[in-house]
Amino acid sequence: MVKVRMATPVLQQNDEVARENRKLFRKKGLFVLNLMSSPGSGKTSILERTIEKLSSRLKLGVIEGDIYTTKDAERIEKFGIAVVQINTAGACHLDARMVQPALDDLDLNDLDLLIVENVGNLVCPAEFDLGEDARAAVLSVAEGNDKPAKYPLVFRESQVVLINKIDLLPHTDCDIDQLEKDLKLINHQLKLFRVSARLDQGFEPWVQWLEEQVNLKKKLSASQ
């Protein structure tokens, strides 16, 4: 019988490191976004479109969370921006302690916006604060209307939901107006953006929101 002692509960340990990460991001005036969703909702495709649109306007960095592979990091690297891969080696989410050493591999002084793409999982990532400024969840219309009710935590803990694959709407039973109402019931402050990463539709309001957040964070940090 193996005994395991845990001196501090996992989430408490995580929150301490998340506070350290947050303090560092504040010092650098860096806005950090935690991007979360189920596998296959289109996080990486959304990230690609976002980089295309913002890389001439902002200095971008990306941390890619993945269980085993570097597939997503390879997709992002093609855009010539700073990208660091975290392989979680089986863990189903990123936590603040995984993110902390990855920050050493980035020149934070040379970044305006850092996007952390979490592991594809609609459940566990929402429980772990990384020290980020905001969380964006991605939901594809192909996943069906019941996802907000069944997985409320990620939507309650996010500031933004990107509703992706709207090009598939005519071919699914998804009622997008009802979906948005259900999301607002869980979190009435949510910013909702309808996009199609595949067809490059609907991204301008989203990247404008991101740019605003980046500028506000800079001002806030400068004033402190």
Query: Least distance to a copy of itself from the beta carbon of 222, Å?
Result: 37
Number of residues that bind a copy of itself (CB under 8 A): 46
Q: From CA 48, how far away is CA 167, in angstroms rounded?
A: 18
The DSSP result for 73-105, as a single string, is HHHHHTTTSEEEEEE-TT-SS--HHHHHHHHTT
Output the furthest CA–CA distance in the chain (Å, rounded): 58
Q: From CA 162, how far away is CA 98, in angstroms rounded?
A: 25
Q: Is 9 in the site for a copy of itself (CB under 8 A)?
A: yes
Taking the least distance from each CB to a copy of itself, the nearer of 155 and 193 is 155
Residue of the chain from 11, 149, 216, 220 that contacts a copy of itself (CB under 8 A): 149
Quick note: the x/- pattern for a copy of itself over 54-83, rule CB under 8 A, is ------------xxxx-x------------
Q: Is 1 in the site for a copy of itself (CB under 8 A)?
A: yes
145-176: buried (b, 16+ CB within 10 Å) or exposed (e) per residue? eebbeebbebbebbbbbbbbbbeebeeeebee
Q: Is 142 in the site for a copy of itself (CB under 8 A)?
A: yes
Q: From CA 6, how far away is CA 85, in angstroms rounded?
A: 28
Taking the least distance from each CB to a copy of itself, the nearer of 106 and 124 is 124
Taking the least distance from each CB to a copy of itself, the nearer of 159 and 164 is 164
Which of 116, 120, 119 shows the shortest CA–CA distance to 18? Answer: 116
Restricting to residues 98-117, which ones interact with a copy of itself according to CB under 8 A? none
Q: Is 181 in the site for a copy of itself (CB under 8 A)?
A: no
Interacting residues toward a copy of itself by CB under 8 A: 1-9, 12, 38-42, 66-69, 71, 90, 92, 119-124, 140, 142-144, 146-147, 149-153, 165, 167-168, 171-173, 198
